[in-house]
């Protein structure tokens, strides 16, 4: 683990460079995930050749990342699927999970979605995925089981951002 991460959590940011750069960064990041994390991200066992062809075709509206030691260790993709609506997926490399990076990226992703004019977003995840469940729950998601161990979480972006705003203490 890098000293950078131990000292302070690095900040998420929009990845510059447009579609071709995003595709390259996403492919590299997804290749570095363990089979388990890749399955949790895509809800099916996704082989490396599939990652390659999938990332060559992907067309997200925005991609955010957290760079540590020169590599994008965490990424979040926003897919603008309908007017004012998006699907969002995120992942953190295994060695960096459970340290608050996902939470930071998730919050930054909702901010960027709001800037893109997105009002609601869906996340799809495995019912046993406690970390993403915790993130979407905190954001006030309405969750529904899709069967087969899959869950969808619908988030209202404004409400989620308001819920995490620091409460002002009245005198």
Ligand X SMILES: CC(C)(COP(=O)(O)OP(=O)(O)OC[C@H]1O[C@@H](n2cnc3c(N)ncnc32)[C@H](O)[C@@H]1OP(=O)(O)O)[C@@H](O)C(=O)NCCC(=O)NCCS
- According to CB under 6 A, which one of 9, 14, 40, 54 is a site residue for ligand X? 40
| Minimum distance of ligand X from residue 170's CB (angstroms) | 26
Pattern 70-89, ligand X, x by CB under 6 A: -------------------x
Q: Locate the DSSP E strands across the chain.
A: 13-14, 62-68, 71-82, 85-92, 120-126, 142-147, 150-156
| Minimum distance of ligand X from residue 112's CB (angstroms) | 16
- According to CB under 6 A, which one of 62, 102, 113, 157 is a site residue for ligand X? 102
**């819920």: which residue's tokens?**
163
Contacts of 152 (CB under 8 A, 6+ apart): 122, 123, 124, 143, 144, 146
- According to CB under 6 A, which one of 41, 68, 86, 141 is a site residue for ligand X? 41
HEC per residue, 128-140? CCHHHHHHHHHCC
- Tell me the CB-side half-sphere exposure of residue 142, using CA atoms within 13 A: 6
The reply on whether position 97 binds ligand X by CB under 6 A is yes
| CB nearer to ligand X: pick between 23 and 106 | 106
Residues that bind ligand X in the complex, under the rule CB under 6 A: 37, 40-41, 89-92, 97-103, 123, 125, 129-132, 134-135, 138
């Amino acid at each position: 683990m890098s000293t950078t991460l131990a000292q302070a959590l690095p900040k998420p940011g929009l990845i510059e460079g447009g579609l071709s750069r995003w595709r390259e960064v996403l492919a590299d990041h997804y290749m570095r995930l363990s089979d388990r994390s890749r399955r949790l991200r895509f809800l099916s066992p996704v082989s490396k050749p599939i990652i390659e062809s999938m990332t060559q075709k992907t067309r997200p509206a925005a991609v955010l990342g957290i760079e540590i030691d020169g590599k994008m260790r965490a990424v979040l993709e926003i897919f603008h699927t309908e007017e004012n609506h998006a699907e969002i997926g995120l992942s953190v490399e295994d060695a960096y999970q459970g340290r608050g990076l996902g939470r930071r990226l998730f919050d930054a992703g909702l901010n960027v979605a709001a800037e893109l004019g997105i009002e609601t977003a869906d996340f799809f995840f495995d019912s046993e995925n406690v970390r993403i469940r915790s993130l979407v729950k905190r954001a006030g998601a309405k969750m529904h089981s899709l069967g087969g161990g899959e869950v969808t979480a619908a988030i209202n972006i404004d409400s989620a951002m308001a819920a995490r705003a620091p409460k002002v203490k009245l005198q």
